[in-house]
Amino acid sequence: MVPGGAGTPAPLGANKGRWRGGRDRLPRRFFAPAAGHTPLDFSRGRRYTSLTMAKRSTRSAPTKTTVRKARMADVEPIYALVDEYSRRQIMLPRSRADLYESLRDFEVADEKRRVVGCGALAIQWDDLAEIKSLAVAVACQGRGIGRRLVRACLADARRLGIGRVFALTMVPSFFEGLGFRRVPRESLPHKIWADCVRCPKFPDCDEVALAVDMAISRGSGSKAGK
Protein backbone atom coordinates (compact mmCIF):
# COMPACT_ATOMS: atom_id res chain seq x y z
CA MET A 1 0.00 0.00 0.00
CA VAL A 2 1.46 3.37 -0.98
CA PRO A 3 1.34 5.81 1.93
CA GLY A 4 -1.27 8.51 1.24
CA GLY A 5 -2.53 6.58 -1.83
CA ALA A 6 -5.93 4.99 -2.39
CA GLY A 7 -7.05 3.01 0.62
CA THR A 8 -4.80 4.92 3.06
CA PRO A 9 -6.88 6.07 6.01
CA ALA A 10 -6.99 9.87 6.23
CA PRO A 11 -5.16 11.33 9.21
CA LEU A 12 -7.37 11.88 12.19
CA GLY A 13 -9.25 15.19 11.90
CA ALA A 14 -8.30 15.79 8.21
CA ASN A 15 -11.90 15.42 7.09
CA LYS A 16 -13.37 17.28 10.01
CA GLY A 17 -16.30 19.39 8.89
CA ARG A 18 -16.57 17.70 5.50
CA TRP A 19 -19.69 15.86 4.48
CA ARG A 20 -18.89 12.21 4.07
CA GLY A 21 -22.35 10.85 3.73
CA GLY A 22 -22.47 10.70 -0.13
CA ARG A 23 -24.56 12.67 -2.61
CA ASP A 24 -27.81 10.83 -1.97
CA ARG A 25 -27.73 11.61 1.74
CA LEU A 26 -27.63 15.37 1.25
CA PRO A 27 -30.88 17.31 1.11
CA ARG A 28 -31.73 17.88 -2.59
CA ARG A 29 -31.41 21.65 -2.35
CA PHE A 30 -27.65 21.37 -1.80
CA PHE A 31 -27.12 20.36 -5.42
CA ALA A 32 -27.17 22.66 -8.36
CA PRO A 33 -30.13 21.70 -10.56
CA ALA A 34 -29.19 19.49 -13.46
CA ALA A 35 -29.98 20.77 -16.93
CA GLY A 36 -33.73 20.64 -17.49
CA HIS A 37 -34.53 20.56 -13.77
CA THR A 38 -36.20 23.46 -12.08
CA PRO A 39 -34.09 25.66 -9.83
CA LEU A 40 -35.22 26.57 -6.37
CA ASP A 41 -35.62 30.17 -5.42
CA PHE A 42 -34.81 30.49 -1.75
CA SER A 43 -34.77 34.25 -1.81
CA ARG A 44 -38.55 34.29 -2.18
CA GLY A 45 -39.17 31.19 -0.13
CA ARG A 46 -41.00 29.40 -2.90
CA ARG A 47 -40.25 26.74 -5.40
CA TYR A 48 -40.49 27.44 -9.12
CA THR A 49 -41.93 24.53 -11.00
CA SER A 50 -41.59 24.25 -14.75
CA LEU A 51 -45.28 25.20 -14.94
CA THR A 52 -44.91 28.48 -13.04
CA MET A 53 -41.79 29.31 -15.07
CA ALA A 54 -43.66 28.68 -18.32
CA LYS A 55 -46.53 30.86 -17.14
CA ARG A 56 -44.07 33.64 -16.26
CA SER A 57 -42.48 33.62 -19.69
CA THR A 58 -45.80 33.83 -21.54
CA ARG A 59 -46.98 36.55 -19.17
CA SER A 60 -44.06 38.89 -19.95
CA ALA A 61 -45.23 42.48 -20.36
CA PRO A 62 -45.95 43.56 -23.97
CA THR A 63 -43.42 45.98 -25.43
CA LYS A 64 -44.55 49.55 -24.90
CA THR A 65 -44.68 51.57 -28.09
CA THR A 66 -44.86 55.35 -27.96
CA VAL A 67 -45.85 57.37 -31.01
CA ARG A 68 -44.33 60.84 -30.79
CA LYS A 69 -43.03 63.70 -32.91
CA ALA A 70 -39.60 63.05 -34.42
CA ARG A 71 -36.42 64.59 -33.02
CA MET A 72 -32.97 65.22 -34.50
CA ALA A 73 -31.62 61.91 -33.19
CA ASP A 74 -34.33 60.07 -35.15
CA VAL A 75 -33.06 61.11 -38.58
CA GLU A 76 -30.64 58.19 -38.97
CA PRO A 77 -33.14 55.47 -37.93
CA ILE A 78 -35.82 57.06 -40.16
CA TYR A 79 -33.32 57.13 -43.00
CA ALA A 80 -32.51 53.44 -42.44
CA LEU A 81 -36.18 52.42 -42.38
CA VAL A 82 -37.09 54.33 -45.54
CA ASP A 83 -33.91 53.22 -47.26
CA GLU A 84 -34.70 49.56 -46.58
CA TYR A 85 -38.11 49.81 -48.27
CA SER A 86 -36.96 52.10 -51.07
CA ARG A 87 -34.30 49.53 -52.02
CA ARG A 88 -37.17 47.07 -52.43
CA GLN A 89 -38.97 49.71 -54.51
CA ILE A 90 -41.86 49.78 -52.04
CA MET A 91 -41.45 53.49 -51.29
CA LEU A 92 -39.65 56.56 -52.52
CA PRO A 93 -36.11 57.14 -51.26
CA ARG A 94 -35.42 60.16 -49.03
CA SER A 95 -32.05 61.79 -48.66
CA ARG A 96 -30.76 62.82 -45.23
CA ALA A 97 -30.95 66.46 -46.35
CA ASP A 98 -34.60 65.94 -47.25
CA LEU A 99 -35.27 64.29 -43.87
CA TYR A 100 -33.64 67.13 -41.92
CA GLU A 101 -35.72 69.62 -43.89
CA SER A 102 -38.98 67.79 -43.25
CA LEU A 103 -38.25 66.40 -39.78
CA ARG A 104 -41.12 68.39 -38.29
CA ASP A 105 -43.54 66.43 -40.52
CA PHE A 106 -42.56 63.12 -38.94
CA GLU A 107 -44.10 60.96 -36.28
CA VAL A 108 -42.06 58.03 -35.02
CA ALA A 109 -42.92 54.86 -33.13
CA ASP A 110 -40.46 54.48 -30.27
CA GLU A 111 -39.82 51.25 -28.37
CA LYS A 112 -37.24 51.47 -25.59
CA ARG A 113 -35.65 54.45 -27.38
CA ARG A 114 -35.47 52.54 -30.65
CA VAL A 115 -37.33 53.88 -33.69
CA VAL A 116 -39.41 51.02 -35.10
CA GLY A 117 -41.69 53.01 -37.38
CA CYS A 118 -42.19 56.39 -39.00
CA GLY A 119 -44.67 58.37 -41.05
CA ALA A 120 -44.93 61.97 -42.17
CA LEU A 121 -47.70 64.43 -42.88
CA ALA A 122 -46.50 66.70 -45.69
CA ILE A 123 -48.58 69.79 -46.39
CA GLN A 124 -49.21 70.14 -50.13
CA TRP A 125 -51.71 72.93 -50.54
CA ASP A 126 -54.01 75.11 -48.49
CA ASP A 127 -56.40 72.28 -47.71
CA LEU A 128 -54.42 69.19 -48.62
CA ALA A 129 -51.69 67.09 -47.04
CA GLU A 130 -50.06 63.79 -47.93
CA ILE A 131 -49.05 60.88 -45.74
CA LYS A 132 -45.52 60.02 -46.80
CA SER A 133 -42.71 57.66 -45.86
CA LEU A 134 -44.91 55.41 -43.74
CA ALA A 135 -42.80 52.44 -42.65
CA VAL A 136 -42.75 49.93 -39.82
CA ALA A 137 -39.75 47.67 -39.19
CA VAL A 138 -40.44 44.18 -40.51
CA ALA A 139 -40.07 42.58 -37.06
CA CYS A 140 -42.68 44.96 -35.60
CA GLN A 141 -45.38 44.77 -38.27
CA GLY A 142 -48.89 43.56 -37.52
CA ARG A 143 -49.01 45.09 -34.03
CA GLY A 144 -51.02 48.21 -34.88
CA ILE A 145 -48.00 50.52 -35.14
CA GLY A 146 -48.72 51.56 -38.75
CA ARG A 147 -52.30 52.40 -37.81
CA ARG A 148 -51.15 54.48 -34.83
CA LEU A 149 -48.69 56.40 -36.99
CA VAL A 150 -51.40 57.24 -39.55
CA ARG A 151 -53.78 58.29 -36.79
CA ALA A 152 -51.11 60.57 -35.33
CA CYS A 153 -50.65 62.17 -38.78
CA LEU A 154 -54.42 62.61 -39.12
CA ALA A 155 -54.60 64.19 -35.67
CA ASP A 156 -51.89 66.61 -36.78
CA ALA A 157 -53.87 67.41 -39.94
CA ARG A 158 -56.94 68.10 -37.87
CA ARG A 159 -54.96 70.34 -35.51
CA LEU A 160 -53.65 72.28 -38.52
CA GLY A 161 -57.15 72.63 -39.98
CA ILE A 162 -56.35 70.58 -43.08
CA GLY A 163 -59.51 69.28 -44.73
CA ARG A 164 -58.16 66.44 -46.85
CA VAL A 165 -55.35 63.93 -46.46
CA PHE A 166 -54.25 61.57 -49.21
CA ALA A 167 -51.76 58.77 -49.72
CA LEU A 168 -50.20 57.19 -52.79
CA THR A 169 -49.64 53.60 -51.91
CA MET A 170 -49.24 49.98 -52.90
CA VAL A 171 -51.17 48.86 -49.80
CA PRO A 172 -54.61 50.45 -50.42
CA SER A 173 -56.46 48.05 -48.10
CA PHE A 174 -54.34 49.18 -45.16
CA PHE A 175 -55.47 52.79 -45.75
CA GLU A 176 -59.06 51.76 -46.48
CA GLY A 177 -59.17 50.25 -43.00
CA LEU A 178 -58.41 53.73 -41.67
CA GLY A 179 -61.28 55.45 -43.51
CA PHE A 180 -59.44 56.40 -46.72
CA ARG A 181 -61.29 55.94 -50.02
CA ARG A 182 -59.85 55.45 -53.50
CA VAL A 183 -59.79 58.61 -55.61
CA PRO A 184 -58.78 59.15 -59.26
CA ARG A 185 -55.12 60.11 -59.34
CA GLU A 186 -56.02 62.98 -61.66
CA SER A 187 -58.13 64.51 -58.89
CA LEU A 188 -54.94 65.38 -57.00
CA PRO A 189 -53.08 68.60 -57.87
CA HIS A 190 -50.17 68.38 -60.31
CA LYS A 191 -47.77 69.62 -57.64
CA ILE A 192 -47.80 66.25 -55.90
CA TRP A 193 -46.36 64.47 -58.93
CA ALA A 194 -43.10 66.37 -58.55
CA ASP A 195 -41.81 63.53 -56.34
CA CYS A 196 -42.65 60.93 -58.96
CA VAL A 197 -39.71 61.77 -61.19
CA ARG A 198 -37.45 60.50 -58.38
CA CYS A 199 -39.21 57.13 -58.47
CA PRO A 200 -37.34 54.31 -60.25
CA LYS A 201 -40.68 53.09 -61.60
CA PHE A 202 -41.56 56.42 -63.21
CA PRO A 203 -43.64 56.68 -65.40
CA ASP A 204 -45.06 53.15 -64.88
CA CYS A 205 -46.62 53.88 -61.52
CA ASP A 206 -48.37 51.09 -59.63
CA GLU A 207 -49.50 53.19 -56.69
CA VAL A 208 -53.13 53.78 -55.83
CA ALA A 209 -54.39 57.20 -54.69
CA LEU A 210 -56.58 57.28 -51.59
CA ALA A 211 -57.91 60.21 -49.62
CA VAL A 212 -59.87 60.92 -46.48
CA ASP A 213 -61.96 64.00 -45.95
CA MET A 214 -61.33 65.13 -42.40
CA ALA A 215 -64.62 67.04 -42.15
CA ILE A 216 -66.56 63.97 -43.30
CA SER A 217 -64.56 61.72 -41.00
CA ARG A 218 -65.49 63.88 -38.01
CA GLY A 219 -69.17 63.88 -38.78
CA SER A 220 -69.78 60.40 -40.17
CA GLY A 221 -68.15 58.18 -37.58
CA SER A 222 -65.57 57.04 -40.09
CA LYS A 223 -62.53 55.27 -38.63
CA ALA A 224 -60.14 58.02 -39.76
CA GLY A 225 -58.07 59.47 -36.98
CA LYS A 226 -59.89 57.68 -34.18
Ligand X SMILES: CC(C)(COP(=O)(O)OP(=O)(O)OC[C@H]1O[C@@H](n2cnc3c(N)ncnc32)[C@H](O)[C@@H]1OP(=O)(O)O)[C@@H](O)C(=O)NCCC(=O)NCCS
Contact flags string 148-187 toward ligand X, x per CB under 6 A: -------------------x-xxx-xx--x----------
Binding-residue pattern over the window 53 to 92 for ligand X, x denoting contact by CB under 6 A: --------------------------------x----xx-
Q: How far is the CB of 127 from ligand X (least distance, A)?
A: 21
Whether residue 152 contacts residue 67, with contact meaning beta carbons closer than 8 Å, is answered with yes
Q: Which stretch binds ligand X (CB under 6 A): 21-29, 121-129, 140-148, 156-164?
A: 140-148
If one asks whether residue 146 binds ligand X (CB under 6 A), the answer comes out as yes
* Full DSSP string of the chain: --TTSTTPPPPTTTTTTS--S-GGGS-GGGSPPPTTSPPEETTTTEEPPHHHHHHHHHTPPPPP-EEEE--GGGHHHHHHHHHHHHHTTSS----HHHHHHTGGGEEEEEETTEEEEEEEEEEEETTEEEEEEEEE-GGGTTSSHHHHHHHHHHHHHHHHT--EEEEEES-HHHHHTTT-EE--GGGS-GGGGGGGGGSTTTTS---EEEEEEHHHHHHH--STT-
User: What is the phi/psi pair of residue 2, to 5°?
Assistant: -80, 130
* Three-state helix/strand/coil letters over 11-26: CCCCCCCCCCCCHHHC
Question: Minimal distance in Å, beta carbon 71 to ligand X?
Answer: 21
Q: Does 221 participate in binding ligand X (rule CB under 6 A)?
A: no
Among 142, 200, 203, 219, binds ligand X (CB under 6 A): 142
By the rule CB under 6 A, 195 interacts with ligand X: no
Beta carbon of residue 205, minimum distance to ligand X (angstroms, whole number): 13
Q: Does 141 bind ligand X (CB under 6 A)?
A: yes
> What distance in Å separates the CA atoms of residue 218 and residue 123, rounded to the nearest whole number?
20
Q: Does 123 bind ligand X (CB under 6 A)?
A: no
Q: How far is the CB of 43 from ligand X (least distance, A)?
A: 40
Our finding on whether 147 is near ligand X (CB under 6 A) is yes
How far apart CA 41 and CA 118 sit, in angstroms, is: 43
Least separation in angstroms between CB 57 and ligand X: 24
Q: Does 193 bind ligand X (CB under 6 A)?
A: no
> Should residue 135 be labelled a site residue for ligand X when binding is judged by CB under 6 A?
yes
Q: How many residues bind ligand X, per CB under 6 A?
A: 20
Minimum CB distance to ligand X smaller for 40 or for 123: 123
By CB under 6 A, name the binding residues for ligand X. 85, 90-91, 134-136, 141-147, 167, 169-171, 173-174, 177
